[in-house]
Structure 1
Amino acid sequence: MHAPPLAQLEPSIITSLPGPRAAELIARDERATSSSYTRVYPLVVDRARGAMMQDVDGNRFLDFTAGIAVCSTGHCHPRVVEAITEQASRLLHMSGTDFYYEVQGTLANRLAALLPNGENNRVFFTNSGAEAVEAAIKLARYHTKRTQMIAFFGGFHGRTLGALSLTGSKVIQRAGFGPLVPGVHHIEYPSCYRCVRRTADASLCCGKSLEQLEQLFARTVAPTEVAAVVVEPIQGEGGYVVPPAHFLRDLRDITRQHGILLIADEVQSGMGRTGKMLAMEHFGVTPDIVCLAKGIASGLPLGAIVASQQVMNWPPGSHASTFGGNPLSCAAALATLDLLEESLLQNATDVGEYLRAKLSELASEFAIIGDVRGIGLMIGMQLVENRESRLPIPKVRDAVVQGAFQRGLLLLGCGDSTIRFSPPLVITRRQVDIAIEILRDVLLHL
């Protein structure tokens, strides 16, 4: 009798963690890899399918991280693997910035259609989210002939120099790497949960952020010198923070008023994670430039920026990438888009609502859960000292993440003391129930 496939199994821990084989491989790895890597727990992956993962000692884990929101269609989806395998037998590489091949052009047309007036849009391919942000910075400066950029505290846009200059998440990410790219200004990102002006009327909320923007224009930098405002529709690294709906609409109005480009960093929030292809769709806002990566190719390295041809007006040779738009990654992305459109956007919506409801039930049991927020399968659970002070408890959050790992559930933190839930978009209600039971057991034994 054959054993069930890994994707159909449930978490099972059979050794102490890390197991003996994992410990051996970790020691070997750490002798040769950069000290800058941040491994949250001693997981050494052997194989994975769907939302399940198995380590080298046979321990099985339910993955609610999806490779930091990358494996959107689940691990090793058979249709993605088939697309990669077929493409690998035909063509591995031919630089798409210098030559043509069918799969890149096909994908470019699919991505161009993500924004209104798709036939008028253009796509530039990169290898990663950070490279997409770098390309967006260059394009914004080239198109506007302006030099200044505005970003938000709590935002994370990457670790290359330009992207890092926009990032305002953690000191450790910037410390020791200055001087960074000049001309970047930061303002607060609206967080209703943290807002000192907390009110039941959402229309009165988040004025502080836009007030800071207007003060910036009045005191520090003229709006006529600003090339772009870069914003995450939902902050990722900053704590899975969902802004009030009118914030992005008001921001869009301000940027239009001053001829400033609006760049949406959809690296983590895009490609179906919120139940729509782009998170901006939830707010009824069309940006000038969209940055994509992570879930775009179900685990293969790929990023892109999308903009109208009026904005993407740089000449040949002004920007290029040897590996951006690699044939294998493009093939994986096309299969990913098919799967998203067929069922996974709806699954992200339906199971996301179910997960958020279950987490809210958990919050009624445990007072340290201060807030549950999110859209689709991009959900944050904020842990606090108590619901009156709302003080963050990062050490407790980290203990919860570790406790979940020891029980077979993979989670990651974000923000000051938030746990992020970003499972593959193939996640089932049964798997949500398993995750909730594991989480409940962790919280009971803190």
Structure 2
Amino acid sequence: MSSLYERSLKVIPPVAGRATKLGVIKGAGAYLYTEDGRKVLDFASGVAVCNLGHNNPAVVQAAKDQIDKLIHGGHNVVYYESYVKLAEKIVSCTGNKTMVYFSNSGAEANEGAIKLAKYVTKRQAVISFKGSFHGRTLATTSITGSSSKYRENYEGLLPSVYFAEYPYCFRCPYKQNKENCMMECTAQFDDMFKKLITPESVAAIIVEPVQGEGGYIVPPKKFLKELRNICDKHGICLIFDEVQCGFGRTGKLFAHENFGVEPDIFTCAKAIASGFPLSAVIGKKEIMEKWPAGAHGGTFGGNPVACAASLATIKELENGVLDNAKNMGNYLKEELLKLKKKYKCIGDVRGIGLMVGMEFCKENNEPDSDMLTFVRKYAEDNNLILLGCGTEHNVLRFIAPLTVVKEELDTAIDIVEKGIIEYLNR
């Protein structure tokens, strides 16, 4: 009998390719179960979607209960309990200073955030960052700076988009180090405003508080604080894309809580509903109130079942899961740093909570993408799913479920170390 992968080749185009060839039949907790009888430790978590693990019982029950009541009502037609209750909960979690609009995906939320910023400022320009990933629609592709392949054959894109350097301290674009850093990553905006675009023309600066696909890069706190100051000075909306780093991934409900900086608008998706399609544009109340009926919309946003799943997700996160993410994230980094001391091929270990990246390098500190490919394949062959990231495709990202336990982390670390050894001994 043909495998799911083999069957897919006849009906699914190459654009819908996968990171693995695994065919799965069910998931539970940190594990996926394959069609050929394997139990696989999943440290991809559906690309940071299944933060509570697969098929969390509380989320499953909440979804089942909601299905019996209402599957779809149309949020632009009627009001229903799970939508309003979720909005109330998120507003409460953000200090009762925000309002929320629900969509389906991260790209859709980022599109909405950009539209909102343009609408309320009556400006057109957007500043994004090199290494960023914000989605695959035409507008979000326009503000994505992690791979030219995403833009190939789709030009022209959204006009008036400008790219700044992200503070990638391990590979500082300004060739600085922590001892002599002059924060050129913030000074660059003075130059940009002088030579490329006046600040009065900029609607928004959109940034990932922790860069995801770009390499799991954690910026200095003072960088995000200075972005806040720049936006305040010039009336620019500061947008945080928390599609990957939000909803507990960093040990806080929202990633920006780690930095003490409040955005004007931020977006969430992926883990917001533990696998059900849902996203949110969350903005300061005084901004959201300027967004009138008809200025934005959609059919499936805020689906009743997805909203019920999200409410259950938040409850689980608040019931000890966030603490576990923080504790297990610290343990994971400590253990990976031990590997770094043993193997010179590990150039950097970084992250917050359970959003952790390990960067592979050659002897001259150049990126080693071949090593990433080898270690990922070795892990897959030994029942562990890991993903890569980084603009040079040399960063191994650990996206364990936030419910992970030490034994599962130890298993993954042991497999990765054996993969490193095998690569070095080829």
TM-score, length-scaled by structure 2 = 0.96
Q: Percent identity?
A: 44
Name 2:380's counterpart in structure 1. Answer: 405
Counterpart check, 1:296 vs 2:272:
yes
Contact 1:264-1:289 at 8 Å conserved across structures: yes
Q: 1:250-289 alignment to 2 at 5 Å?
A: 250-289=226-265
| 3-state SS of paired residue (1:423) | coil
Letter in 1 for 2:304: P
Letter in 1 for 2:375: V
Cα separation, partners in 2 of 1:200 and 1:318, compared to 1, 3 Å: closer
| Offset of residue 210 of structure 1 | 1.7
| Offset of residue 443 of structure 1 | 0.9
* Aligned pair partner of 1:246 in 189, 204, 222: 222
Name 2:342's counterpart in structure 1. Answer: 365
Counterpart check, 1:326 vs 2:303:
yes
| Offset of residue 37 of structure 1 | 2.1
Letter in 2 for 1:326: N
Q: 1:84-95 alignment to 2 at 5 Å?
A: 84-95=63-74
Distance 1:206 1:424 in 2: 37
| 3-state SS of paired residue (2:381) | helix
Cα separation, partners in 2 of 1:30 and 1:206, compared to 1, 3 Å: farther
Name 2:103's counterpart in structure 1. Answer: 126
| 3-state SS of paired residue (1:42) | coil
Name 2:153's counterpart in structure 1. Answer: 176
Counterpart check, 1:31 vs 2:10:
yes
Distance 2:204 2:190 in 1: 15
Distance 1:98 1:198 in 2: 55
Distance 2:348 2:114 in 1: 34
Contact 1:52-1:60 at 8 Å conserved across structures: yes
Q: Deviations over 1:254-313 (max 9, x none)?
A: 110000000000000000000001111111000000100001000110000111221111
Name 1:105's counterpart in structure 2. Answer: 84
| Offset of residue 24 of structure 1 | 2.5
Distance 2:220 2:210 in 1: 10
TM-score, length-scaled by structure 1 = 0.92
Q: 1:40-439 alignment to 2 at 5 Å?
A: 40-116=19-95, 118=96, 120-195=97-172, 196-201=174-179, 205=181, 207-312=183-288, 313-386=290-363, 389-415=364-390, 416=392, 417-439=394-416
Contact 1:148-1:225 at 8 Å conserved across structures: yes
Indicate the larger mover: 284-293 or 208-217: 208-217
Name 2:421's counterpart in structure 1. Answer: 444
Contact 1:397-1:418 at 8 Å conserved across structures: yes
Could you say what the CA RMSD is over the residues aligned between the two structures, in angstroms? 1.1
Contact 2:3-2:23 at 8 Å conserved across structures: no
Contact 1:192-1:205 at 8 Å conserved across structures: no
| Offset of residue 413 of structure 1 | 0.2
Distance 1:428 1:104 in 2: 33
Contact 2:328-2:406 at 8 Å conserved across structures: yes
Distance 2:170 2:295 in 1: 43
| Offset of residue 45 of structure 1 | 1.1
| 3-state SS of paired residue (1:46) | strand
| Offset of residue 26 of structure 1 | 1.1
Name 1:6's counterpart in structure 2. Answer: none
| Offset of residue 198 of structure 1 | 3.7
Deviating beyond 4 angstroms after TM superposition, the runs of 4 or more aligned structure 1 residues are none
| 3-state SS of paired residue (2:15) | coil
Cα separation, partners in 2 of 1:110 and 1:206, compared to 1, 3 Å: farther
Contact 1:115-1:286 at 8 Å conserved across structures: no
Distance 2:302 2:204 in 1: 25
Q: Which runs of 5+ in 1 are unaligned?
A: 1-20
| Offset of residue 200 of structure 1 | 3.8
Contact 1:373-1:380 at 8 Å conserved across structures: yes
Distance 1:168 1:148 in 2: 16
| Offset of residue 315 of structure 1 | 1.1
Distance 1:218 1:205 in 2: 22
Contact 2:107-2:136 at 8 Å conserved across structures: yes
Contact 1:125-1:321 at 8 Å conserved across structures: no
Letter in 2 for 1:391: E
Letter in 2 for 1:31: K
| 3-state SS of paired residue (1:419) | strand
| Offset of residue 82 of structure 1 | 0.3
Indicate the larger mover: 205-214 or 256-265: 205-214
Distance 1:321 1:291 in 2: 16
| Offset of residue 314 of structure 1 | 1.3
Distance 2:383 2:176 in 1: 37
| Offset of residue 206 of structure 1 | 6.6
